[in-house]
Structure 1
Amino acid sequence: MAAAVAGFRAAHGTEPAGVWAAPGRVNLIGEHTDTSGGLAMPFALPHTTLAAASARPDGVLRLHSANAPGGAVELLLDTLSPAAGSGWAAYPAGVAWAMREAGLPVGGADVHFTSTVPTGAGLSSSAALEVATASALNDLYGLGLTAERVARLAQRAENGFVGVPCGIMDQMASACCTTGHALYLDTRDLTHRAVPFDVAAHGLRLLVVDTRVRHELGDGAYANRHAACELGARRLGVPALRDVAYGELGAALEKLADDPVVRRRVRHVVTENRRVEEVIALLEAGDARAIGPVLTAGHASLRDDFEVSCAELDLVAETANAAGALGARMTGGGFGGSAIALVPDAAADAVAAAVTEAFAAAGFRAPRIFPAAPAAGARRLPTD
């Protein structure tokens, strides 16, 4: 936190009113279901975006980041519009825009950001930036927003201002997760509950493998898949794919036999919702080791049915499982980013070494591998 305060002082010339933290996330299971009203199970990373901030009375939003080149970005709140937003500053600017669009009395602010969430790694660096901003503005202007409302406004910023048609899962994870737990999230009504996920207590480790292949969700591929899911729901006569029961999947796929792409997208969403339910049941039964095959099945579905994997992500999953992992899959939006591997403690080093060696043999850039345990969601940091 000291670095965030010092950075604010250097960028803005005064002391911040406070420092707010919002984490990145790993999604354990339930990928690409949230735009269809489905189920997900993320947990927060210890990696966070910090926002040191103070209110200002002139309607100016002055944004500075230790992680971005260049100086501060100054924007007038009264002239904020989606067409004006680009680059990293669009995310916090979009939060202020979404709050004002919702009629909330948000004024100007000086903000300095610093982050340990890897960007482009599929670990929700954008949601962490949005939620940190929303949390700061919520407190600075006494808005009294719940964590769920903060998440909705952050999602609105990304959808309406940045232009990425993401679901709500990333923002809910950043805003609502708790230490030592995964978040069982119904993205339709935002009901959620904390589910114990203490991997160390089960003699396990969850490795995150950042492939260092950077992805852009705003390039159209994500939107195309979202559109295919909506088309599938319309053709099946349901409000969203969430409403297709797993037991009815065979009949649903028969109705879509003439459109193999939509058929694959539908199959992924319906089976992925089922996998979330399976993982919940196993964790609540205390059998964390048994979720491994479910994770691997999720990767196969993301690779073959939703088609958002890539050679590097596939190599992580295949190599980790061959080297002793209980299960592995890509996590996040796809087309690069990160994968996760659930491994017994005794096999963790061997799995990490095998993945690193496989990347070298394939001529890929060396991955970044680190263990992750469920951490706290968004919060204001104590100043003393």
Structure 2
Amino acid sequence: MYRHSLHKRVAIAFAMCVAVLSIAWGFAFFAAIRLSEDRVLTQQLQVASDNYPAITTNLKAYDKVDNLPQSLQTWAQTNPAVGLYEFDSEELHVAVIDTGNEQSHGFVVFDVAQIEASSSEDWWLLFIISSLVGTLGLLGFGLGIFVMRRALAPVTQLAKAVADIDPEQLSNEDYKRIDANRYTNDEVGMLASTIEQAFERVSAFIARERYFTDSASHELRTPVTVITGALELLEQSQLTPADMKVIDRVRRATYDMNKMIEMFLCLARETDDGLYDEQFLVMPLVRKAVEQQRYLLNGKLVGVELDELANPIIYGHAQAFSIAVNNLVRNAFEHTLAGQVPIAILIKEHELLITNQFSGGDAQHTATETASHGYGLGLGIVQRLCERNGWSFSLHADTAHVVARLSW
């Protein structure tokens, strides 16, 4: 358990990381300064010991310009201001001192030629310092990752627990992994509690959905079966031609109803049972839809032009394709007025086009209205059928025509 909230733990972790790095850098710079001091003093002592018993010093004072080293006399004649100067080429450091005489200044010259490190030593020092800086950088990077991981460990644990859960098959172990009581009362605990409640709602919804589809499957199919049995009994009796037409209509409607029930139940369960991998021909289903809906053109004197530019074979749910095509064909037949140009149905390699004519009115509005309410299937259902199978559906209307396009 953690005593602090997530944002406090992150802030504390960041502060600790910065503090540790600051202390490390401070010790490193302090060590570099002390090393430089010791090195200068050691070199100075070495120079003095080399000249023993005559003790010499690298510091010399001059009160006249003529007494300065030859390399500095030209510079000193320019009457430089009081201050410190460095001459790299001569390896000299010069201090100009105010002696109270406006005509001349005093000079203190420090010869560092014998105590400065050689170029090879400078490169070694640079290498050592660079290595130290790089090591501290890597240490800080690793420390930052370690501290942040420790601070965010509850979030990572919760994310892994959620990633391994299947919402449709929640077990007791899954509930234990996302139990909000395992986390403290902070942001992570609130998130765990919310996820736990969401999974509970999903589980309850799935249970209700399964119960509904199982019940609906039985309750919806029962009346369809009763109607089918009654029609078979009626066909065995003596019927007039008019009665037979009525029975045919009832049989056709019952057949369509049974197929739609199967499709709706399949969509409600969100499962395919392998039906979405079927391979089927487009042309037979289109011809069947035209024949099933042709009675809607009785008395209208409107023909149907069915052009087969290709004979495509596609993958998907054959019944879903049949219902979508039946809906589009029925809309076209139902809302085409008498005496208009033939309804054009065009089958291409990758799309199906159904074109019918409107006379007067707002074609776009009329097309949308009829497609939304025709045959009990609106554009939303057709669109969903297409999405589940990887197809696409669109409806285009101009001033006189409506074109339904089903692509795969």
Q: TM-score normalized by structure 1?
A: 0.23
Larger Rg: 2
Which of the pair has the greater relative contact order for Cα pairs under 8 Å at 6+ separation? 1
